[in-house]
Each structure stands twice: as C-alpha cells, then as structure tokens.
Chain A
C-alpha cells in the first residue's frame, strides 16, 4: 500500500466496504442526507459499481425543515443520475405538528429524524444502511465500527461492539437486526473537501459564501429560509455573507461569516479555522455525551 496516496487509499477502502455490503446484504440502502459527506459517499458508490449503477436505492429522511436548496439539489441529483430515491417523512410527527421551533431541537430530532429513520428502515426491511458519518466528527463516533451492528430496535450498544479486524467485515444479521455501515469512517473533513475538489463533485451551494438573510439566535447565525421562523417584533433579517460547514434543519444549523465562494476558498478557511465543524450543530450541545445517547437510541 506504500505507493497509494492518502486519498487513493481512503477511496479504495470506501469502495471495498461498499462492495462487501452489496455482496453480503440482502436489502442494502444508502442514507442520503444531501450534505457534502453524502455527496462524496454517492460519488464513491458510482465508482464502486461502475459500469453498473449502485445496486441499492437512496433514502432521504425528510424532517420537513431542511433548507429549500437542499431539497432542490437532492431531486436534481437523483434525476441526473437516474437513481431510485426514497423520501420518507414521519407522517405521525407531521400530523402532531412536531417542529424544531415549537418542540425544541431534542424532540424534533428524535421524532422527525431518529423515529422517522427507524420507520423507513422497518417499512422496507433494509438490513444494511450506509451512512456518511466520519470518526473525526465527534468522540463517540471515533469509537464506532465501520460495520455497526443494530439490534431489532435499531439500538447501538457501544460496550458490546463486534471486533473489527483488517478488512474482514462481519455483516451477518438475523431477521429484524441490521447494520449501519460507514464507508467514510476514516475520512477527515479536510479529506472530504480535498476529494470534492479533486473529483469536482457537485455539492449544495449553501456550502459556499453568499449573501443570505440572517438572524441571530443564541449566538448562532440562523438563515431565514422560509416564513416559519418566528421573528421578534420589528426584527428584520440582516443580509450577511455566510456559508454553512454542515447542513441540517435550517433553524438548527448555524452559519459562519465567510468569503469562500468555491472549494479552494472553503479549504483555505478551514485551514485557519479554530472551531470544529459540529460547532454549528445545535443538537450536539444539548447535554454531555449527547451524540452517544442519540446513537444508542438509533440515530445515525
């Protein structure tokens, strides 16, 4: 392996992982969250199975609060590539009016994201689901296996993970159990952007700086993407040149002021960054060890 550069090595490893799943799982699916990591994962899937299309559908769990540009990008990519896209929404949650503003980040994420994801996996009886999570994002993710076993209730048991040796992945599950598979486990944020640059992978324009209508909430810059974000009396969104380091539900995703209008610009800013990318994610700040807790409950 001495000859391969670090990106070649990461690419080959991810492709190997995807092919193992395609060969061993009965009903695999790729969780497509529309973000930059999903974009890289989708690109790797195109490579892994070329000249065949990826032998699994894409699944997007739509909380109803994603940025509009994300939804437009999602539909355009699926159409261009001719891939099967399953969009799942938690209809119960919608009927109950669950949202991040009315119910808070915790309830909204649990009902519209975690529960919705479990509904979709159960409904289609998927036994392996690819996710774009990386180990460098967060401490509990740093401990998670590439093939992460979930019981029939979709729960992760961090103290009882299957040992994972070499590239001998054990994806065997019984009825109702499943695997979450993370082909980008060993990628860093910088690797992802370098690869996007090298491969000219399309990403949602929200990652690049533009003037956007912004209000401040709890020290975070929140973009007013539609009329559902309540404004204080007399408050008016301020146009600011911002971009997003991660993308999620727009009321829960903080922007950063930026001039980076293209991928090299984003990389340049990242090299000087003094905060990690998840800092813009309001859901992680809820409580200590919050990501581990969410993951145990079935969150990706």
Chain B
C-alpha cells in the first residue's frame, strides 16, 4: 500500500467508506479458505510475520507441496489445522481503496451446518464456491438453501478450479445453468456467476487472461461495487427497547438500535405489545441530539409522556405498527445434540424480548439438500423444519421476509441455557387475534365455592411400581370420606383413551404429559381436587404442567422408591420384561428418570406404608389450607 500523500485526506476518504459483510461457503475441497487467503494476499494484507508463520505452517500441514497454503491463514483452531478442515466460522477483515469487507469463512461439512447459519446471519451476500470438476453438489444446494433461509438475497456462484478444466467455457456455462435452475426454488434471489481459479488467481482481483470469454467483472471488483438491499425492507420505523435509561428523576430515555425505518422528534409512536402511546420529543446521543435516526443507529429516545415502557417493547409509528401474536408459523433450524421435541418448553428470544415457547406442532421437516418436505415427529441436529409455536405472551414482530431484525429468533434450553435452535417468524396463525377466550359467567372461583373446596392438582411422580396408584387410590378414598369432590387421572387408565395414540418415545412421553396437564387444568377449573399419578420422568414436562396452573395449585409429590425396590416388587411383571428386552424405553432401565429438585412432598415408601403416605399428603393439604384443619 503506497504512503498517502495527505493522511487527513486519506482518513476523510476512509471515513466515508461502507462495509460489505459476506460469507464464503462450499464443499470440503472447493477452496473457500484458499480463496480468502488469495484475496488477502493479492490485496497485500498479509503481514511479514504472518507470511513467515504461513511458510512454516505450509511445510508442516500443507497438502499443497512446498507452495504457500492460504487455507492455513484462516483455519485458526488447533483441531482444524490438524484435520485440514474448517469447523467453526471465522471472520476476516480486509479493505480495498473502495470498500471494507468482513468475510465469514464458514465450514462446509454437514455436521457444522449450524455454524454456517451463524455466518449467514451476519452476511449480506453469499459467495458459493463450486469445484468446476464436480459441478453443483448436494452441499452446494444445502449452503444456498441455508443462506437463503437466513435472509441472504444476493448470491455469487464462483465456479472455482477453472484451471483444472482447461478454462473451458462450456463447463462453466453448464454449471451456471444447473445452479440457476435450482436457485429458482429459493425465491427472490439474485445470482451472479463467475469462473475463477483461487489457486492461480484468475478472475479473483483482476480479469483472467486465460478466460477472455468471460465478459463480467472479476470477483473483487464485483464485491466492491455490488449494492445490497438494507434489511427491514418495508421501511417502517421499529425500535426494540433494550434498556431504560434513568440517570435521575428528570430524564427517562428508551435505548435501542433502530431496526427499521427512520424516526424524528414529533413522531407519534406506540409501544407494543403494551399499546401505550406517546410522542418522540428528543433523540438523545452522547454527541448531541439528532434530527433523525435511521436504521442501524443506536440511540436513546425521550417521549412526551411518563409512560410505562420497558425492555422488550417495540416502539413504532402509530400508522405502521408491528404485528402481535402468541401463535406463529416458523421455519426452524435445530442446533442441539438433544432433539427438538414438540410440547417441550424452551425460551425464545426475538429482538429484545425473551418469552417461554412451545413447539405445538411440527408440520414437516425440510430436506435441506433437495428442499423436499417430509413428515417428522422431532428435529435432530442440523435439521430444518416448519412448525407452529405457542408463546407465553404476545410478541411484537414483523415476518422475517419483511424484516430480519424483527423476524428472526433463537431458542434456548431452559436448563443448560444453550442456544438450541434458530428460526424465522413467518406469519401469525391469528388464533391469538381471532379465537378470543370466551368469557363465561361462571368461573373457577364460583364452581369451587359451590363445592366448598379449593381445587388443586396433587401430582404423584415416580418410577413404575413405586406405589403411585396405590397411594392415589387411598388418598382419593380418604378425601371422599371427607366429602371432597375429587377425580383421579391415572397413568394406565388415560392410555386407554385420551392418549391411546401415543407410545413411549421421548416425544410421545412429552405429549402424553402435556395432554394430561391440560386435562388436569380443566379439572381444577371445574373445581375438583385432582389426583394425577404418572411416571412423568422429565423435569421440564412437570414444570410445564406447574406453569399451566396458578400459583399454589400444583402440588408435586415425589414417590421416592429406589429402583431395586420397584424392580423387586414388579407388580405388573414389567421390569422383568424390560430386562428381557421385550419392552423398550422403560423408565429406569433404558429411559431416564429425572427426580424432582423442589417437590412439595417426598414420600418414603420403604419406611412408610401406603396408608401412612396418604395421610402425609392429607396433612400437607391441611397445612396449605386445601382442607380445613
């Protein structure tokens, strides 16, 4: 890089430059890392000490003989250098005289699809590499589909290794035609096809003498000039509130990054989902108030009224509000080793809002290689599906195709906090809007009052043979003697009707407990003291039932009987069958039981008999006021 004659002029020119964030993807040996290394090298952005280290590394690891192996510049983790593959997305930074670039170098292997999705979500353009000798492969389609799913609309098809096919135009044209035919299924995307050789440098930074038949620009000049549409396509103003700024009693500001549109002082705004209205009085920044804030700027808005707006609310213009829904259709990419199970609760984060979320229905999985759909009961790592989700409260959102910042979401595991899924909000199922809750004259309190009792659910959980049904039966008899209106939901009995269609896989067990939970809720609503006796092996599902009910209504009773005792009792001969391999997914044998951490009651069935344990539950019900003392 030449020394600029006037550094101030240089800095002014630099200050006006924009950034293009793009990702490179392709199959294992298509030469992604080589291409990035070549771009950095040709743009003279590799420092001497890095070059010395590269020469040493090339000798140690390289597959390229004694020549420099540019891939080693970008594969940064020890495991990647040893195995010669890219595992995780790496970000690289370079600039030319015209533009700044951030390159996400993403892994090609199917098992690292989630890392590719991460790279795609931070990019505005995708460079899809194809080996000219191999043409469009399964991976080519997968990478294009993922990039498209996560919002990229601009694609470059870089047909690489043209030197190895004799720079043959016919080879290039055939690959381009095949790719365009496939890309037509990806919706509204723009594709530019370029023949290159990353290894030799053809059509990378400048035109190739070997391919005079190629009329278009080389890759780098193209990237310097390409215009990408800003996200937030419909242009309506959105500001998801991140943090409420209250330095003193005289100032209250709402901080956030403008996710779409522009805002000016004087604009009428509404905060959703709370629905409170006000007017923007100031756009406050450290550098002074602004007349206008645009998409992407991080600002603080002051409003005319003392209204209650908090993190997670979205400020928008009254004329163009966001949508509200708690039931949505989504696309979902699963990113966890533990399968996605419909019915299980996760945490969803969208913009600045975090809510509880259940996948209520998995419509189908999408084969990301062919875009074909197929029926599915669960999603495993790296699978894409279309699903319906239900949220604990209404979410303010825009469909992802209108606005990536307002329509993207992640799912987090409630126990480990890991990020387990990512998706796009496609549309509201409108149930929240159209299926209003029918207000009834007689409610739970009326029904309970007539029965002179406080309804609740006594939930007995424990291994098969632990004694749940026996205790439940005795407990109901004692309550009946006390003139209490009761109902028992028993594990074996519901499987004859309510959940007859379900088996014993993890997914089916979750759905089983969900249906029983909803039924128990109806029983409580009807005013009954409800006794439920189910193995219910997973903490997350028991918590789901607890959260369906009101505070204090769910009484978790852990029937704590050691496995060897249950197995010795074996009242139905099931353990024997399970040990013999005749029954699969049997809790305690080849399926997990997660004991409660904070049960209201823990019953010891070894030291106490069933009558004593039923009495212990009655004592507890007296203690919490369900029964009179």
Enumerate chain A interface residues (CB-CB to B < 8 A).
1-9, 11-12, 15-16, 19-20, 22-23, 46-53, 135-136, 138-143, 158-159, 161-168, 170, 172-174, 185-186, 188, 190, 194, 197-198, 264-265, 267-268, 271-276, 279, 288-289, 292
Contact = CB atoms under 8 A, between A and B. Distances in A.
A143 B88 contact: yes
Contact of B76 (A49, A142, A188): A142
Interface string B277-309: 000000011110000001111101000000000
A162 B247 CA distance: 34
B91 interface: yes
A255 to B, nearest CB: 16
Interface in B550-591: none
Contacts of A162: 418-419
Those 10 A-B pairs whose CB atoms lie nearest each other, nearest first: A139-B76, A172-B417, A15-B298, A47-B286, A50-B286, A52-B247, A1-B296, A165-B121, A276-B47, A274-B48
A19 B8 CA distance: 33
Given A3-B294, A167-B257, A271-B10, 10 more contacts: A2-B228, A16-B257, A19-B243, A19-B255, A20-B352, A163-B114, A165-B118, A188-B93, A264-B11, A289-B81
A166 B400 CA distance: 12
Contact of A194 (B11, B92, B229, B422): B11
B371 interface: no
Contacts of A267: 7, 10-11
Contact of A19 (B77, B242, B405, B419): B242
A51 B250 CA distance: 11
Given A19-B298, A51-B251, A268 B7 contact: yes
A166 B91 contact: no
A12 B410 contact: no
B93 A186 contact: yes
Interface in B115-146: 115, 117-118, 121-122
Interface residues of B, number: 84
A254 to B, nearest CB: 12
Contacts of B4: 268, 271
B286 A165 contact: no
B79 A159 contact: yes
B3 interface: yes
Interface string B76-94: 1111010000011111110
A168 B285 contact: no
Interface of B: 1, 3-4, 7-8, 10-11, 14-19, 47-50, 73-79, 81, 87-93, 95, 100, 102, 114-115, 117-118, 121-122, 150, 227-231, 242-243, 245-247, 251, 253, 255-257, 284-287, 294-298, 300, 311, 335, 347, 349-352, 404-405, 408-410, 412, 417-419, 422
Contacts of A168: 349-351, 408-410
Nearest to B21: A186
A3 B229 CA distance: 11
Nearest to A134: B93
Contact of A142 (B91, B294, B311, B422): B91
A1 B295 contact: yes
A166 B121 contact: yes
A15 B408 CA distance: 20
Contacts of A274: 47-48
Most buried by A among B3, B243, B247: B243
A139 B114 CA distance: 21
B310 to A, nearest CB: 10
17 contacts: A2-B228, A3-B294, A8-B297, A12-B298, A19-B256, A22-B243, A143-B77, A158-B77, A163-B335, A164-B118, A172-B347, A185-B91, A186-B91, A197-B11, A264-B8, A275-B47, A279-B49
A95 to B, nearest CB: 35
B298 A52 contact: no
A82 to B, nearest CB: 13
A52 B17 CA distance: 31
Given A51-B251, A194-B14, A4 B294 contact: yes
B96 to A, nearest CB: 12
Contacts of A138: 76
Contact of B242 (A3, A16, A272): A16
Given A15-B298, A19-B255, A276-B49, A170 B412 contact: yes
B19 A6 contact: yes
Nearest to A49: B245
B379 to A, nearest CB: 15
B49 A163 contact: no
Contacts of B231: 1
Most buried by B among A22, A51, A135: A51
Nearest to B81: A289
Contact of A276 (B50, B245, B419): B50
A50 B3 contact: no
Contacts of B300: 50
Nearest to A277: B47
Contact of A143 (B89, B228, B245, B347): B89
Contacts of B47: 273-276, 279
B356 to A, nearest CB: 13
A19 B244 CA distance: 10
B335 to A, nearest CB: 5
B100 A135 contact: no
Contacts of B14: 194
Contacts of B242: 16, 19-20, 23
Contacts of A197: 11
B422 A163 contact: yes
Nearest to A265: B7
Nearest to A195: B15
